[in-house]
Amino acid sequence: MKTITLIFTAAIILLFPINLFPTDVTVQLAGGIEKIDYDRIDGIDAFSLSQLAALLGERISWETVGISAVMQTDRHRIRFFVNSPYISIDDTVKNLTFPTALIKGNLFVPAETFTPLFDQIRQERITWDKERRIIRIDSEYFTITDLALSTKANGLLIELFISEPKEYEIYESEGNWLNITIPDATVNRRQILARKNKKIIRDLNVFQFEASAQISLRLRRPIEKYSSRFTPNPGRIQISLLDTTVTISPQNGVGKIGPDNKIDRIVIDAGHGGKDYGAIGLKKTKEKKIVLDISKRLAKLIRKEKLLEVVMTRDKDKYISLEERTRIANESKGDVYVSIHANASLKRNIRGFQVFFLAAAKNDDARAAAQLENAPFLAEINSPDDFNSDNLSLILSDMIQNEFQEESADLASMVDREFRKKLSKNTKARAIDQAAFVVLNGVYMPSILVEAAFLTNKDDEKLLNSKKYRQKVAEAIYAGLKRFKAKYESK
């Protein structure tokens, strides 16, 4: 019986052979995992250099088909001879010990001996893991790592991500080209070229020179007025191109905005509402309910003294879209915008109040707060055609972001000062910070976002459920607003 079983099993294997021979190599890149063809030539591991070159944005051309081929990179020229272990890199001959091969139109090279040579002439770190058949390509050595393009109502925002602060030069050239040159830099050419968007640019070139790198964009919009700056965390060069044919927001009917001769109209934005609950506390406390109560208390204080007028984006449990919030604020010709929220964290020991103003986040905590508050609005502003849904794309151009940044930071410091006076005995005072909050984006006036406390901390949640604490929060915000009014009306 045992003999019959063995014969039957052998027959099955002959009829349906199992391919136990590996057929591919894994390539680990910054952008993910890819596969290329693998073979064993006289017992030596080999991979398709033709396919690897394509992944890296390079190509192999045949000088004599089936006999000699050339791989031209940004800095080097490598020549191969089929069935020979000898290659030349520029003018230097190298011995791979094992021969190259031509298999199904692809040039195969010995993995163990070619990879170290390839590593020496590439900016990336390239290693071969024989046991797992993995080629790892690390881009950590690149200075210029990525590119983002964001269309705005009044122009275009170009962001070039760099691993460290660098001097740079921007110049225009014939054909509507905008060129960014960075001395002493290495560029991730493959990653940058992958960001090409034909809706925005006609063409994109990336050049790696001996002493510099250059990114050239041929734009569809005429190059008129532009400004640039370096912004940290993450490091990037931001270039804002203004479309002078566009009026920033004519539908809003906004005239004079910001702290002019008088500060007399305050826009109070109670965060979340309706279907958007906001943060949920440990005892199921809903942020939308807490912040609406604080907002109403603040409005009542203001209306009682009649020093200021009040406009509320919502005065009941109702969902208000991002577009509607900014429309209400701008059409009311408000002088100051205050958005009221309660914070949350995965770490339950974190607690305290905090005041933010609109700018690129400088630390992880600020980015986390922005991500939390931005979540309900991302679906509104990110259509399927959007190619950069990162929080950076939520910031408008330099003109709008910077126009009231100084005043917003000033207002944040005044409200924070009052918070410390009235609330420090109850909970922790956290530093003033900045982040890219969607709800502040597009509001054309000094604006701040207030986090009254953390719903995810048991002690803070208890405070937020206290009418006395909510009243203190409202009083502190109002005191800060009065300080702001006094300072700017005296100018």
Whether the pLDDT of residue 207 is over 80: the answer is: yes
Burial of 376 (0-12, 13-18, 19+ CB in 10 A): buried
Q: 364: Cβ–Cβ under 8 A, 6 or more apart, which residues?
A: none
Does residue 276 fall inside a structural domain? yes
Separation of CA 396 from chain center: 14
CATH, residue 167: 2.60.40.3500
Residue 174: band (very low, low, confident or very high) from pLDDT cuts 50, 70, 90: confident
Does residue 133 fall inside a structural domain? yes
Co-location of 47 and 160 in the same domain:
no
Co-location of 261 and 236 in the same domain:
no
Co-location of 392 and 462 in the same domain:
yes
Tens of pLDDT along 26-37? 988 765 678 999
If you search the block for the tokens 């807490």, which residue do you land on?
A: 290
Co-location of 118 and 213 in the same domain:
no
- pLDDT score recorded for residue 236: 85
- For residue 454, give its domain range: 250-489
Tens of pLDDT along 432-445? 776 555 556 667 78
Co-location of 283 and 412 in the same domain:
yes
Ranges of H-type helices in 26-110: 49-55
Does residue 4 fall inside a structural domain? no
Find the angle CA(267)-CA(271)-CA(274) to the nearest 5 degrees.
120
Co-location of 158 and 220 in the same domain:
yes
| Domains identified in the chain, total number | 3
Does residue 415 fall inside a structural domain? yes
- Residue 1 gets which letter from DSSP? -
Co-location of 117 and 191 in the same domain:
no
d(Cα 352, Cα 451) in Å, to the nearest integer? 8
CA nearest to 390, candidates 407, 405, 406, 378 = 378
Region 250-259: mean pLDDT is 36
Is-contact 447 358, C-beta < 8 A? yes
If you search the block for the tokens 């394509």, which residue do you land on?
A: 54
CA nearest to 145, candidates 119, 169, 122, 163 = 163
CA nearest to 94, candidates 86, 106, 82 = 86
Does residue 33 fall inside a structural domain? yes
CATH, residue 281: 3.40.630.40
d(Cα 373, Cα 197) in Å, to the nearest integer? 29
d(Cα 395, Cα 403) in Å, to the nearest integer? 13
Instruction: Please report, for residues 181, 185, 347, 360, 439, the alpha-carbon distance to residue 168 in angstroms, rounded to integers and kept in the order given.
Output: 6, 10, 41, 21, 33
Among the three residues 202, 219, 242, which one is the final residue of a domain in this structure? 242
Does residue 472 fall inside a structural domain? yes
Co-location of 475 and 433 in the same domain:
yes
Q: 12: Cβ–Cβ under 8 A, 6 or more apart, which residues?
A: none
Co-location of 360 and 381 in the same domain:
yes
- Residue 38 gets which letter from DSSP? E
Does residue 266 fall inside a structural domain? yes
Co-location of 276 and 218 in the same domain:
no
Mean pLDDT of the chain: 79
Tens of pLDDT along 101-122? 999 899 999 999 999 999 888 7
Co-location of 50 and 197 in the same domain:
no
Co-location of 107 and 168 in the same domain:
no
Does residue 10 fall inside a structural domain? no
Burial of 65 (0-12, 13-18, 19+ CB in 10 A): exposed
**What's this model's pTM, rounded to 2 decimal places?**
0.46
- pLDDT score recorded for residue 378: 46
